[in-house]
Structure 1
Amino acid sequence: MRGLNPDHLHSFAAVIEHGSFSVAAAHLHLTQPAVSLQMKELERRLGVALIERVGRRAAPTAAGTELLVHVRRIDGALADALEAMAGHATTVGGRVRLGTGGTACTYLLPPLLKDLRRRFPALEIVVFTGNTGDHLKALEDNAIDVGLLTLPVPGRGFQVTPVLEDEFVAVFAAGEERIPAAAMPAALAQLPVVLEDPGATSRDIVEAWFLRAGRRVKPVMELGHVEAMKRLVSAGLGCSILPRMAVTADGKRDGLEVRPLVPRLSRRLGVVLRRDKLLQRGLRELVNALLAIDTKPR
């Protein structure tokens, strides 16, 4: 069927159905010469005669009768294809893959994903957690569609839109007697500190904060889950430095005392896409929701 014009096939079926070029042309909203030209082009393309005159009626030849069977199948397939595409045009669905960090996935995304599920039940969002470097490689390989990642992001092939600035805070067990007057690197370095595992983006940011003050921190514990870190701190086993989004407004519900860092420390999160990424409707809705993230304290 390569090179065949579906309109010509449709006109052929109409001529056979009505037994007349002129009647078929009227139903197709074409002129009779236009339909005749289409039939000549179709017969030339296939190399066989398709229509013959039987009295005053246009009838199919043996080849035309066989072609008519295929035309009906083709019309059905085209109708199915148009119906499927109409569904994509009117329904937000499909599968979208999002890469982000564990902290954002735990404390920032649940209400956003819940709202998207409510509004677009046919949309499947798959979330992958990891560090920024791994997600950038996945974006390059088209293994994920979009990232909510810690900035800056290297590479000219990415479209980056900053979304929010997330401050880091020092956290201590509620009622802890050794809470320093100011959560400075020198003071915190003297205390038992619980940090994320080496290689985590937040761990790198925190260690750099200590190093800028000429301090190196040796954590008493290293964990890969922020919620576990909070539990250990609330149990009095050390202090920690966590993203602000990971604790409640005053920390009390987590059994924590929260203090701002001096000097201030924060990270920027942004929506990252390949510059050549086609924004299908489902992906566009997810990106719009990420750009509108509510960052008010819990």
Structure 2
Amino acid sequence: MRELNLDHLRTLVAIADLGSLANAARALHLAAPTVTVQIAELESRLGGQLLVRGRGPAQATALGERFIARARRLLADADDAVQDVRRQLAGQTGRVRVGASTGVIAHLLPPALERLARNHPGVDVNVQVLTSNESMARLAAGSLDLAVVALPQSPVRGVHVTPLRREPVLAYLPASWKAPRRLTPQWLAERPLIMNDASTRLYRLTAEWFAAAGVHCRPCIELNYNDAIRTLVAAGYGAALLPKESQQPAPNSGIVVRPLAPALWRQLGLAVGDPNARGPARVVFEALLPGMDSTA
């Protein structure tokens, strides 16, 4: 048997509700012969009579009554599916996959997620802890929708990046250390350093800062979790170069913070696979912009 046609099912239900083929034709804005043909085709596909048609109102056969009940459920499911797609395209519902580093997730995403929960409760944001390189690769592969990444990034086919904000990178030191007011690469290179690992943009950024001064940095610990790094700094294990994140709480009493000389900045961007995306992805994209587009 060929697949059922939803228009034919809708015509059958209209006849059952309105009592005649003529009434159904008027309600559905169809010619009467079209309604007759649709019912005939439907009965032919099913191999049984669904309606008894005569001078009086159209009556469903026993087979027709059972089939009409099923048809109502099928049409309701189809209508629900269409409405769900429309809600997603309007940004009212849907799931959006977002990649970001632990620091961004902990200190920059919460205000945006709070706005989303308040204004778009039907949008589900799935946040994944990823490096910028991992996020760019997943965006290109289509397994991620948005990502907050450190800039600059090498161009990736199919991925578009919008600059968002610039944050100063500062030195976090154990409070017991005696340190000048501004720290140079030469001074820091002689101390134990705790850094993100070499796969991250922050590592490359700080390594280039040291290299520009003609010195080489060699971390004693590599760890991709900035809050954990600050904990190790407070315990006296070493110094760290980390961005000053806008929502970050004040450092604890075991840490002192110093600016760098020369100054060092981290640039963040918002990367998307489809810059013209509609629906929940666009809603999340726009929610991230207000809280992240200013210079720290």
Question: Aligned partners of 2:24 and 2:222: how far apart in 1?
Answer: 78
Indicate conservation of the 8 Å contact 1:15/1:24, yes or no.
Answer: yes
| Residues 117-170 of structure 1: per-residue CA shift (max 9 Å, x gap) | 344444332211121111222222222221111123321311211111122112
How far apart are residue 3 of structure 1 and its match?
A: 6.7
Question: Aligned partners of 2:140 and 2:18: how far apart in 1?
Answer: 56
SS in 2 for 1:74: helix
Write out aligned runs for 1:248-287 (5 A). 253=252, 255-275=254-274, 278-281=277-280, 283-287=281-285
Number of residues of Structure 1 aligned to a counterpart in Structure 2: 289
SS in 2 for 1:245: coil
How far apart are residue 44 of structure 1 and its match?
A: 5.2
Which residue matches 1:226?
Answer: 226
Indicate conservation of the 8 Å contact 2:131/2:200, yes or no.
Answer: yes
Letter in 2 for 1:263: P
Letter in 2 for 1:156: R
Question: Aligned partners of 2:149 and 2:141: how far apart in 1?
Answer: 16
Indicate conservation of the 8 Å contact 2:165/2:292, yes or no.
Answer: no
Q: Provide the TM-score with structure 2 as the length reference.
A: 0.80
Question: Aligned partners of 1:167 and 1:277: how far apart in 2?
Answer: 31
Question: Aligned partners of 1:238 and 1:2: how far apart in 2?
Answer: 72
1:75 aligns with 2:76: no
How far apart are residue 277 of structure 1 and its match?
A: 7.5
Question: Aligned partners of 1:14 and 1:112: how far apart in 2?
Answer: 47
Kindly tell me: are residues 267 and 17 of structure 1, through their superposed partners in 2, closer, same or farther at Cα, counting changes over 3 Å?
Answer: closer
Question: Aligned partners of 2:200 and 2:29: how far apart in 1?
Answer: 67
Which residue matches 1:97?
Answer: 97
Indicate conservation of the 8 Å contact 2:164/2:294, yes or no.
Answer: no
Question: Aligned partners of 1:91 and 1:272: how far apart in 2?
Answer: 19
Q: Provide the TM-score with structure 1 as the length reference.
A: 0.79
Letter in 2 for 1:94: G
Which residue matches 1:291?
Answer: 289
Indicate conservation of the 8 Å contact 1:53/1:59, yes or no.
Answer: yes
Letter in 2 for 1:234: A
Structure 2: which 5+ runs fail to align?
none
Kindly tell me: are residues 52 and 176 of structure 1, through their superposed partners in 2, closer, same or farther at Cα, counting changes over 3 Å?
Answer: closer
Question: Aligned partners of 2:264 and 2:80: how far apart in 1?
Answer: 53
| Residues 28-52 of structure 1: per-residue CA shift (max 9 Å, x gap) | 1647xx1223313552574789666
Which residue matches 1:242?
Answer: 242
| Residues 48-69 of structure 1: per-residue CA shift (max 9 Å, x gap) | 8966653x236469xx764564
Question: Aligned partners of 2:241 and 2:229: how far apart in 1?
Answer: 10
Question: Aligned partners of 2:295 and 2:231: how far apart in 1?
Answer: 20
How far apart are residue 235 of structure 1 and its match?
A: 3.5
Question: Aligned partners of 2:246 and 2:290: how far apart in 1?
Answer: 19
Indicate conservation of the 8 Å contact 1:163/1:293, yes or no.
Answer: no
Indicate conservation of the 8 Å contact 2:10/2:75, yes or no.
Answer: no
Which residue matches 1:135?
Answer: 135
SS in 2 for 1:166: strand
| Residues 237-282 of structure 1: per-residue CA shift (max 9 Å, x gap) | 4322111118958x5545433222222221221111113774332x
- Let me know the Cα RMSD of the aligned residues: 3.4
